Amino acid sequence: MKIRRSEETTCPGGGDMDSSIITAKMSKTNYKLSWRPDQSAPNLSPSKKHPAMINSYTRLLASALLAIVPTAQSADTATLKDAFKGQFYVGVAINRTIAMSAAVRADNVNRNMDQVNKDVALTKDQFNQIAPENDLKWALIQPQEGPDGYNFGPADAYVNFGLSNNMYIVGHTLVWHSQTPNWVFAGTNLPPGVTNAAPAPSPGTDPNPAATNTPGRGRGGRGFGGGFGRGGFTGPRASREELLQRMHDHIQAVVGRYKGKIKVWDVVNEAIADQGTNILRTSPWEQIIGPDFIAKAFEYAHEADPDAILRYNDYSLENPAKRQKLITLIKSLLDQHVPVMAIGTQTHVSVSGPSFEQEDQTLTDLEALGLPIHVTELDVNGAQGGQRNAGADVASNAATTQGGLVSDADKRLADEYAALFRAFVKHHNSVKVVTFWGINDGVSWRAAGRPLLFDANDQPKPAFGAVIAEAKPAATAK
């Protein structure tokens, strides 16, 4: 199959940052005003002058400083999308209430209309890219089998929100072991080595609720079932051919519907094993189809929209062992000419790390693959429980948000975000998208960990200022 690889472009409205810089130095007898570019500074540095002359200099200096206040970048006036303009998109995962501008009960979010309006305004003001928390996941968009089993309404609202606000739109996600309805994997074939299996579980139930990979309170998926545990799908299952056909039809329908509108797709999500030596986790996709389910998913997505950027997305890539598994997997796929076009690193981290040096090394290693890097689900957990577990598997979320906040949580959050964005800016030639996983702490999947830049009332936290401050080096990095 001939592959046409999509090219990543710079951020909309990209270009050189305003390089004008004005500095002032004041002491009792020394006044100096200087600015760029290539302007002659007035002689305002007398060592000894008459007080009236000093007052005149002071007034001139004050007037010059006031004149440049509107263009100075500060945490009070700056927006994330403008601060990193020309570096990378700054995006946010939005829930159904934002996409529909309505106080609907969805994504386990309970916001009144006043709160929703503020959430919508903040989204439009701060971000130029969006991802959906839930409404493009299989369990939400095709809960029932067949062409009549789709529920496109919420997904349409999401896409229309992005289009109407000139945002770069991401689709999340096509193939995942979690939040996939049971009917997708069900069939008449017994698992290998099984002679008398129980009937397939009914739709919406979980065949192994105690296992590691069950959805629980998932990322935006709190309350939605349909995931599968460590033992995989234990009931009568579809054949390889049946499951491939279901995958193909689903991808054709969903990607095809939003062709040209959704620019990036998370084609396969979280397929890498957290522990052990196996590269792939055990999942119904891997058990029924085999390891080539990943290649097939990318091929089907590329057929449905040849111009879309197709990415593989996973968490805990800050862990060197898991990162090496990803590098091995992606190299193998590229060697097979599978159209993987970007790497999604979720970056669900904590106030304990990674450090700047560790994030710098993560991005350096990923750059070796030669693909654009997208930071896809950024948040920084401030809960005590989250400092002991750096993973982001949906089943472990409850444990990672227990124990209350760490001491000095706001400062540690700001320090960690500053370190991360310092690394993103350093690698801005490779990092093309940075997406926060939620608009504010109140709607976060890790709400108890207060992991985002804005509190539940959409007010900026100290971490917001810390992130904006990292944009200053970005303005001069060109």
Output the CA angle 193-197-203, nearest 5 degrees: 125
DSSP string, 390-415: ----GGGHHHHT-S-BPTTHHHHHHH
> Is the CB of residue 282 less than 8 Å from the CB of residue 232?
yes
Catalytic positions are 270, 377
**In a domain? residue 295:** yes
**Together in a domain, 46 and 106:** no
From the number of C-beta atoms within 10 Å of its C-beta (0-12, 13-18, 19+), residue 113 rates as exposed
For residue 129, the domain's CATH number is 3.20.20.80
Please give the tally of structural domains in the chain: 2
CA distances from 224 to 220, 265, 408, 416 (A): 9, 21, 34, 31
pLDDT of residue 411: 97
- Residues with Cβ within 8 Å of residue 135, at least 6 apart in sequence: 96, 99, 141, 154, 155, 157, 158
Asked if the model's pLDDT at residue 150 lies above 70, the reply is yes
**Together in a domain, 99 and 33:** no
pLDDT of residue 233: 65
The domain of 194 spans: 85-475
Asked if the model's pLDDT at residue 320 lies above 50, the reply is yes
**Together in a domain, 370 and 429:** yes
Q: How confident is the model at residue 400 (pLDDT cuts 50, 70, 90)?
A: confident
pLDDT of residue 476: 59
pLDDT of residue 197: 53
**In a domain? residue 146:** yes
Which position has the higher pLDDT, 366 or 19?
366
pLDDT of residue 109: 85
Q: What is the percentage of the chain residues whose pLDDT exceeds 90?
A: 66
pLDDT of residue 157: 98
pLDDT of residue 192: 75
**Together in a domain, 26 and 121:** no
pLDDT of residue 107: 74
**Together in a domain, 53 and 186:** no
213-262 pLDDT per residue, tens:
323 334 554 333 344 444 456 789 999 999 999 999 999 999 999 999 99
**In a domain? residue 6:** no
264-297 pLDDT per residue, tens:
999 999 999 999 999 999 999 999 999 999 999 9
pLDDT of residue 391: 67
**Together in a domain, 60 and 106:** no
Asked if the model's pLDDT at residue 456 lies above 70, the reply is yes
**In a domain? residue 263:** yes
**In a domain? residue 10:** no
Please state the length of the chain. 478
- Residues with Cβ within 8 Å of residue 110, at least 6 apart in sequence: none
98-108 pLDDT per residue, tens:
999 999 888 77
**Together in a domain, 317 and 453:** yes
Q: Which amino acid is at 276?
A: G
Q: Which amino acid is at 274?
A: D
* Residue 348, beta-bridge partner list: 379
**Together in a domain, 34 and 129:** no
pLDDT of residue 21: 29
pLDDT of residue 184: 98
Asked if the model's pLDDT at residue 169 lies above 80, the reply is yes
Q: What is the percentage of the chain residues whose pLDDT exceeds 70?
A: 73
pLDDT of residue 173: 98
pLDDT of residue 60: 46
* Residue 454, beta-bridge partner list: 460
Q: Max CA-CA distance within the chain? A: 102
Give long-range contacts, CB 8 A cutoff, 24+ apart: 353-359.
353/318, 353/390, 353/416, 354/318, 354/419, 354/420, 355/419, 356/419, 356/420, 356/422, 356/423, 358/318, 359/318, 359/419, 359/420, 359/423
> Is the CB of residue 83 less than 8 Å from the CB of residue 471?
yes
How far is 75 from 73, CA to CA, in rounded Å? 7
pLDDT of residue 390: 61
- Residues with Cβ within 8 Å of residue 96, at least 6 apart in sequence: 104, 106, 107, 109, 133, 134, 135, 154, 157, 158
Output the CA angle 410-416-420, nearest 5 degrees: 145
**Together in a domain, 307 and 225:** yes
How far is 148 from 255, CA to CA, in rounded Å? 17
Averaged over 337-352, what is the pLDDT? Answer: 97
Nearest Cα residue to 90 out of 399, 439, 363: 439
pLDDT of residue 386: 83
pTM (whole model) above 0.85? no
**Together in a domain, 90 and 62:** no
pLDDT of residue 71: 35
Question: Which has the minimum average pLDDT: 188-197, 332-341, 377-386?
Answer: 188-197
**Together in a domain, 450 and 395:** yes
98-147 pLDDT per residue, tens:
999 999 888 778 899 999 999 999 999 999 999 999 999 999 999 999 99
Mean pLDDT of the chain: 81
**In a domain? residue 9:** no
Q: What are phi and psi of 288, to 5 degrees?
A: -90, -45
CA distances from 118 to 106, 453, 454, 456 (A): 17, 15, 12, 10
pLDDT of residue 401: 82
How far is 431 from 235, CA to CA, in rounded Å? 42
- Residues with Cβ within 8 Å of residue 9, at least 6 apart in sequence: none
Question: Which has the minimum average pLDDT: 5-19, 46-60, 131-145, 223-237?
Answer: 5-19
Q: State the pairing for strand pair 264-269/309-314.
A: parallel
* Residue 34, beta-bridge partner list: 23
Asked if the model's pLDDT at residue 201 lies above 70, the reply is no
Q: How confident is the model at residue 385 (pLDDT cuts 50, 70, 90)?
A: confident
How far is 324 from 288, CA to CA, in rounded Å? 25
Q: State the pairing for strand pair 129-132/373-381.
A: unpaired
**Together in a domain, 48 and 119:** no
Averaged over 406-411, what is the pLDDT? Answer: 93
